[in-house]
Structure 1
Amino acid sequence: MENWTNAKLCDVANLILGAILLFSPWIFEFDAGKVTQNAAITGIVIAVLAIAALAAFAVWEEWLNLIVGLWALVSPWVLGFQGTTAMKVHVTIGILVAVLAAIELWIMSHHPPRLTASR
């Protein structure tokens, strides 16, 4: 499939974004507590989903990435850390992850993988 390369690039980008979010509490010196926990857990989930998608693509992984990206986007308001550097990092990474997941879902809907062996 010719668009498989684009999907893998999106997954690699998500892996990098997940790692950035995971390490962002130390990079940007977030307050300890729920902000740091949210960044670490959300970053790990994004990275694990990206690794799973790189190993064996499945549409459900992209739907989960979309959901986790949207969580990162809204979590500053849900958890009450708006107006901070942590908010900017979460919102930025959340938007990027959600957009990349939406792009991959769009690619797969327009160019679905073949279920039979190609000749």
Structure 2
Amino acid sequence: MSGFGFFNKHRTWEDWFGMLLGMLIVVSPWFPFSSHDVMDAERSTMILNTFVVGMLVFGLAQLEYVALQRWEEVAEIALGLWLIASPFVLGYSGDDLLRAWHIALGAIIVLLGALQLWQDWRLSDQELANHPQ
């Protein structure tokens, strides 16, 4: 039961992990095992989408590291949900590996954002301002 206390406080490694996830999202279209079966117009839209989502996740994680606010976690959750839905909405769900990667990375972003929001929910604005410690 003592290990559960590890997740009760927002730690800086969570912000660093969010930055890493953002970079993974940015480079995910070029993973060597992706099949690249989508057409050119769809591929450029998908690349733009993953670049924007990845950079936003990266930027939000950096912002959390510097100035923690609750809206940042809510925005991360929304970005994770969009990353999960984007293969189906933007039409590149035919690329099975890329779809699986985006669903997995999106789910990790959602879980990380939910964990951080849960950790910070009861903190005052002053306590949020003291992050990182």
Q: TM-score range by the shorter chain?
A: 0.7 to 0.9
Q: What secondary structure sits across from 1:34 in the alignment?
A: helix
**Aligned twin of 1:3:** 9
| Long gaps (5+) in structure 2 | 1-7, 128-133
**Aligned twin of 2:115:** 103
Query: TM-score scaled to structure 2, two decimals?
Result: 0.76
Contact kept? 1:14, 1:97, Cα under 8 Å: yes
**Aligned twin of 2:16:** 12
Contact kept? 2:93, 2:99, Cα under 8 Å: yes
Q: Match of 1:3, as an amino acid?
A: K
Please state if 1:45 is matched with 2:73: no
| Long gaps (5+) in structure 1 | none
Bigger mean CA deviation after superposition, 41-50 or 9-18:
9-18
Q: Match of 2:62, as an amino acid?
A: I
Per the alignment, do residues 9 and 34 of structure 1 end up closer, same or farther by CA in structure 2, a change over 3 Å counting?
same
| Aligned Cα root-mean-square deviation (Å) | 2.1
Q: CA deviation at 1:23?
A: 1.1
Stretches of 4+ aligned residues off by more than 6 angstroms: none
Query: TM-score scaled to structure 1, two decimals?
Result: 0.84
Q: Percent identity?
A: 26
Q: CA deviation at 1:24?
A: 1.4
Superimposed CA distance per residue, residues 36-68 of structure 1 (whole angstroms, 9 cap, x where no aligned partner) = 111111111100110111111011111101100
Contact kept? 1:35, 1:86, Cα under 8 Å: no
Q: CA deviation at 1:80?
A: 1.1
